[in-house]
Amino acid sequence: MPSPGKPMTETVSAAVFSHPRWRFWPGMLIALSFLVLVLAGLVSLLQAAGSLDPSNVLGNRYLRGVVTFTVWQALLSVLMSLGLALPIALALARHSRFPGRSALLRLMELSLVLPTIVAVSGIIVVYGRQGWFTSAVSAWLPDHGWNLYGLNGILLAHVFFNAPLAARILLQALESVPEPRLRIAAQLGLQSVWLWRAVQWPALKPVLPGVIALVFTLCFTSFAIIMTLGGGPSATTLEVAIYQSLRFEMDFSQAAILALIQLAICASLWWLAFRCRADTGLLPTSARTPHLQVPGWPGQTLINGALVGLFSAFLLAPLVATTARGLPALFSPEGLAAIQNQLLPATGRSLLIAVPAGLGSVVIALLTLAAARQSEGRWHSGLPVVTGYLPLIIPPLVLGTGLFILLRPSPGTPSEGWVLVSLINSLMAVPFVLQVLRGPFLSVDAHTLRQADQLGILGWHRWRWIFWPLLRRPMALGLAYGITLSMGDFGVIAIFGSPGQPTLPVLLYQQLGSYRVESAAGTALWLLALLLIIFAGLSGLTRPKGVFRTIQRRSPYA
Amino acid sequence: MRFPAFAGFLLAALPAVGAAQPSAVLNVYTHPSFAAEWGPGPAVKQAFEDQCDCIVNYTVLESGGDILQRLRLEGEGTGADVVLGLDTGTMETARQTGLLGQHERNLDNLNLPIEWTDEVFVPYDWGYFAFVYDTEQLPEPPTSFEALLNAPDDLKIIIQDPRTSTPGLGLLLWMHSVYGDQAGAKWRQLEDHILATTQSWSDGYYSLFMNGEAPMILSYSTSPAYHMAIDKTDRYQAVAFEEGHYLQVEVAALVKTSDKPELARRFLDFMLTPAFQQHIPLKNVMYPAIDLGDNLPPVFERLITPEKVLYMDPAEVAAKRRSLVDEWLNALTR
C-alpha cells in the first residue's frame, strides 16, 4: 500500500513505494502506536488511581444493574436496527434506479453523524408527547399508550442512528455480488428463498458479524440519548457510570475498572465477529454488465416501495423538524448577523479540524487494511484491524483523561490542542471508514494481485490502476464520514478545552448554555446543512462520468 | 492524490489560529456560558485589559466539574492563574486538591443571602434553583414540593441527573434540605412526575422544555429574567415553593502555583466591582454578588423571592454527596 507524501526511497526505475514492506509497515506502525497509546492511557489512569479493587464494582448492586441494562438495550437495539436494515438493503439493491434513491443514500449516511442533541431534539419534535407522530396517532387511536420516554425512546433513537448505517453497509455488500453468480441466478429463475440462499446470504454473511458488532458497540457506549430519553437512572449505561466516576467522584480506580469491563465485553464480541469472518472467503470481483433481471415475487415492488417510503419518512421527519425549528431563527435579521459573525468563523474552525481528521482517518484505514492483507494468515494479521476498532470501545473520556495524564505537565498552546483534537477525531472515525473501505478493498482478489506482481504493477502504479478505480467512491464516503464525524464532535474538544473561539458544536452548546434557544436552533440547522453538503459534495465529486457511469452504477438486480 | 499536501497545508495554517500575545497573560479556566460571545466573558476581558496592562486568556472547559477535573489532572504544573466557574457543590473538592491559594481580599461589599467568610473562594454571582414553568401550558403550577408530589400523575417535570449536572445535584440537595431522611421516599413519590432526567440542563431546556414536552423544568429562579428582558416574553416564569429554595453561589479562586499572584488578586478585586458585576444579571442570568443599585435590570424586581433560603455548607455537601446520590439511585432503581 503506497503512502504518498513519504520520500521516495526506491531506485528511479521502480515506481514509488514498490517494495512490499510499504504495504505492511506503515499500517502496522500506526496500529502498534495506537495500541501503545491506548495502553498508556489506561495504565496512566490506573496508576493515578493507585489501588484497584474490582470487588467494589462487582459487588455493587447498582453497577451490576448498569452492566445488565447496558447489554440488554444494546442487544435489543441491534435486533431492531438490523431487522429494519436488512429488508431496506434488499429493497434498495433490487431497485437500483428510482428517483430520489441517491438522496436517500445520502440521508442514510447522514443520520450516523448527526450530533446527538440535534437528532434527539428532532426525534422529540416528531415522537414526543406533543410530537407530530404522537398527535397523528392520538387522532386515530386515542388509547395508543405510546410513550417516547423509556426503553421506547432509547430504541427508537438507536434505530434512527444505526439502521441507516447498517443498511448502507449491507447494501454495499449486496451490490458487490459478482455478476456471473447473478447471471446464473437469473437464468435459473431463482426466487425469494432460493435467491436468498444462493446469492444474497453469501454476500451478506461476510459483513454481517462486523455490522452486528459495530451497531452493538455504538449502542453499548451510547450516552446522551440514553439519559435524555431513558427517563431516569434505571436507564443508565456503563459510559454514564464512567463519566460519573471520572467527572464527579474523581474516582479513577472505579472509572478504570468500568472501562475494563466495557472493553472486555465489546472486545470479546469483536473477537467473535472476526472469528466468524475468518471462515468466509474473500469476495472476488469482476466487471459487471448492466441490466440483469432477477425475477421477484408478485407485489414485491409495491411492498418494497412502501417499505422504502416509510423508511425515508422515518429518517426525514426529525430533520424536517430541525429545519422547521431552525429556519425562522436563521433567516431573521439577528440570524443573518449571526451567520456572518459566528457561524462562518465557527465553520472555518470546524473545517480546519475536521478536514485533516477526515483525510487522516481514510489514510489510516487504507494503511491498516493493506497491512492486514499483507500479513494475512500470520499471527499478527489481526492486529491492525483490531486496533482499528479500538477507538469504538475505549470510552473517549478514559482515553482523553489517560492521554492528558500522560502528556502533562505540558498544557501546550491552543493550536497544539487543536492538532491533538484533530488526531483523536481521525482515530475515532477509523472504525467507520474501515467498514466502508473493507469490502471494496478486499474485492481486489489474490489472482489479480498475483498478475499485477508478475506484470510489475507495483507501488504507486498498483495503487493508481488497481485500487483507485475501485476505491474512489468508497473513499469519498469514508472521507465524508471522517470529516462529518469530526465536525459534529463535541466530546473530544471538550476534554481538551477550547480556546475562546468556538467550533460549530461548541458554539451550539454555548448558545444552549446561555438560553439562546432560537440561535441554537439556527446553528443546529446550519450544522445539518453543512453535513449534508459534505456528503452530497463528496459523493458528487467522485461519481464516475459518462458512459462508464451507466455501466458501473446500474445494479445487477434491476 | 493531493490529499496529504492539502492536509499539510491545513496543519501549517493552524498556528495562525492562536493569536500572538504580549508578555503578561492571565490564564483563566472557565466554562462556556461565561466565556461565550454573549456571556459576560468578552466584556469582562475587555474591561480588565483596559486597566491591567495584561491579556486575559480564557480556557473554556465543558462545566464547573471539568474545570476542577482539569486542575486536578494538571496538578502543580497547571497553567491556570485563576479558576472561575466552580460553585458551592464543587468548592470543597476543589479546596481539597490543595492547589488553590487564599484570596486575602476584603469581601465587605458582598451582597449574598448568606454570610460569606471563605478564605479561598470569592463569589461572583448567585441564584436559587427553582422550577420554571410554561404559563400557557400550566396556568396554575404547584406552589410547594408537597403540592407537586400530590399533583395528578399527568403533571410532568423535567429534571437533570445529579451525577452529571449542577442543577441536578442542586435538586438533590434541595430535597435533602427539605425532607432530610424522608427524601428517599419523597423521590419515589416524585418519580411518577418525572418525564425525563437529562444529562445536562441544556439538553432538557432545548430538547424537551422548549419543545413543549413538559410544562415544568428544574432551572434557576433567574431564568425568567432572560426571557422577559431579552426574548421580551412573560411566558416562562419560576414558581416559588413554600418550603424554600436552595441557593447556589458561583465562585472563583486563584491558583497557588500561579507566577502572577498579584495580577490574579487584582482580577479577583476587579470581579467585585460594577465594571465586572454589571454584566452578570443579563449575560450570566444570575444575581450579581454586589449591590448594583439602580444598575440592576428592572426585570429582576419581578423574580420570585424565596421565603426561606436553603443552603448546606460546602464541606457537608462534599461529605454527603455520594450517599445522597446513592439514596436517589436506590429510590429510583428498585
A47 lies in some domain: no
B72 lies in the same domain as B201: no
Q: A124 and B72: CB-CB below 8 Å? A: no
CATH code, domain carrying A93: 1.10.3720.10
Query: Comparing C-alpha atoms, which of B223, B216, B245 is closest to residue B306?
Result: B245
**Is B203's CB within 8 Å of A342's CB?**
no
CA distances from A434 to A20, A41, A171, A427, A531 (A): 21, 23, 16, 11, 20
> Is position A386 within any domain?
no
Query: Quick check: is A353 in a domain?
Result: no
In a shared domain, residues B135 and B80: no
Distance CA B70, CA B86 (A): 12
B108: domain CATH number? 3.40.190.10
**Chains A–B, number of C-beta pairs less than 8 Å apart:** 209
Inform me whether the C-beta atom of residue A223 falls under 8 Å from chain B C-beta atoms. yes
> Is the residue at B2 inside a domain?
no
Say whether both B211 and B66 belong to one domain.
Answer: no
Per the CB < 8 Å rule, is A506 touching B212?
no
Per-window interface: B 35-64 vs A, CB < 8 A? 35-39, 41-42, 57-63
Residues B173 and B146 in one domain: yes
- Provide the pLDDT for residue A194: 73
> What are the chain A neighbours of B333 within 8 Å (beta carbons)?
62, 65, 232-234, 236
Distance from CA of B83 to the nearest CA of A (A): 13
In DSSP terms, B101 is beta-bridged to B254
B46 and B60 inside one domain: yes
Shared domain check, B117 and B52: yes
Note the pLDDT of residue A544: 53
Judgement on whether residues B255 and B192 belong to the same structural domain of the protein: no
Same structural domain, B162 and B33: no
Q: Render pLDDT for B84-102 as a digit per residue (tens, 0 to 9).
A: 999 998 899 899 999 999 9
Decide: A508 and B36 in contact? Cβ < 8 Å.
Answer: no
**Domain assignment of residue B226, yes or no:** yes
What secondary structure letter does DSSP report for A241?
H
The domain of B229 spans 127-247+304-332
Q: Are residues B285 and B255 in the same domain?
A: yes
Is B24 within 8 Å of chain A by CB?
no
- Assess contact for A401 and A495: CB atoms under 8 A: yes
Q: Is the CB of residue A114 less than 8 Å away from at least one CB of chain B?
A: no
CB proximity list for A148: less than 8 A, separation 6 or greater: A123, A124, A127, A128, A129, A131, A134, A156, A229
Residues of B (172-231) whose Cβ lies below 8 Å from A: 191, 194-199, 201-208, 210-214, 223, 226-227, 230
A512·B205 Cβ contact <8 A: yes
Is residue A267 domain-resident? yes
Tally of structural domains, chain B: 2
Residue B16's identity, in one-letter code, is: A
Nearest CB partner across the interface for B199, out of A227, A234, A404: A227
Residue A345's closest chain B neighbor by CA?
A: B17
The boundaries of the domain holding residue A171 are 52-279+295-325
The rounded distance, in Å, linking the Cα atoms of B310 and A490 is 35
Q: Is residue A500 part of a domain?
A: no
Q: How many domains does chain A have?
A: 1
| Higher-confidence position of A190 and B24 | B24
Which of A117, A236, A249 lies at the smallest CB-CB distance from B203?
Answer: A117
In a domain, B178, yes or no: yes
Q: Which of B15, B199, B328 sits opposite A228 (nearest CB)?
A: B199
Same domain, B119 and B252: yes
pLDDT in tens, B267-319: 999 999 999 999 999 999 999 999 999 999 999 999 999 999 999 999 999 99
Query: Contacts of residue A362 in chain B, CB cutoff 8 Å?
Result: 3
Rounded-to-integer distance, Cα A406 and Cα B9, Å: 28
Helices A116-127 & A151-175, crossing angle to 10 degrees? 110
Question: pLDDT 10s digit of each residue in chain A, 558 long?
Answer: 444 444 444 444 556 666 667 667 777 787 788 788 778 777 877 777 776 667 766 677 788 888 999 999 999 999 999 999 999 998 998 887 788 888 898 888 888 888 888 888 899 999 988 888 888 888 888 777 788 888 889 999 999 999 999 998 888 888 877 777 777 777 776 666 777 777 788 888 888 888 898 899 989 988 878 888 887 888 888 888 888 887 777 778 888 888 888 888 988 888 888 777 644 333 333 334 344 555 566 677 888 899 999 999 999 999 999 999 999 988 888 878 888 888 999 999 899 999 999 999 999 888 888 887 776 666 666 676 666 778 888 777 777 777 777 766 554 566 667 777 888 888 888 888 887 887 777 777 777 777 777 777 777 777 777 777 778 888 888 899 999 988 887 766 666 666 567 888 888 888 887 888 888 899 999 999 999 999 888 877 766 544 333 334 333 333
Residue A248 lies in a domain: yes
Residue B220 has pLDDT above 60, yes or no: yes
Quick one: B199 and B134 in the same domain?
A: yes
Q: Do B174 and B35 sit in the same domain of this protein?
A: no
d(CA A128, CA B197): 15
**pLDDT over threshold 70, residue B129:** yes
